[in-house]
Amino acid sequence: AQTVTQSQPEMSVQEAETVTLSCTYDTSESDYYLFWYKQPPSRQMILVIRQEAYKQQNATENRFSVNFQKAAKSFSLKISDSQLGDAAMYFCAYRSINRGSQGNLIFGKGTKLSVKP
Partner 1 sequence: DTEVTQTPKHLVMGMTNKKSLKCEQHMGHRAMYWYKQKAKKPPELMFVYSYEKLSINESVPSRFSPECPNSSLLNLHLHALQPEDSALYLCASSRGTGLYEQYFGPGTRLTVT
Minimum separation from the CB atom of position 16 to partner 1 (A): 28
Shorter beta-carbon distance to partner 1: residue 10 or 15: 10
Contact 95, 106 (CB under 8 A): yes
Shorter beta-carbon distance to partner 1: residue 86 or 108: 108
Residues that bind partner 1 (CB under 8 A): 32-33, 35, 37, 42-47, 50, 52, 89, 91, 95, 97, 99, 101-105, 107-110, 112
* CA nearest to 78, candidates 49, 52, 99: 49
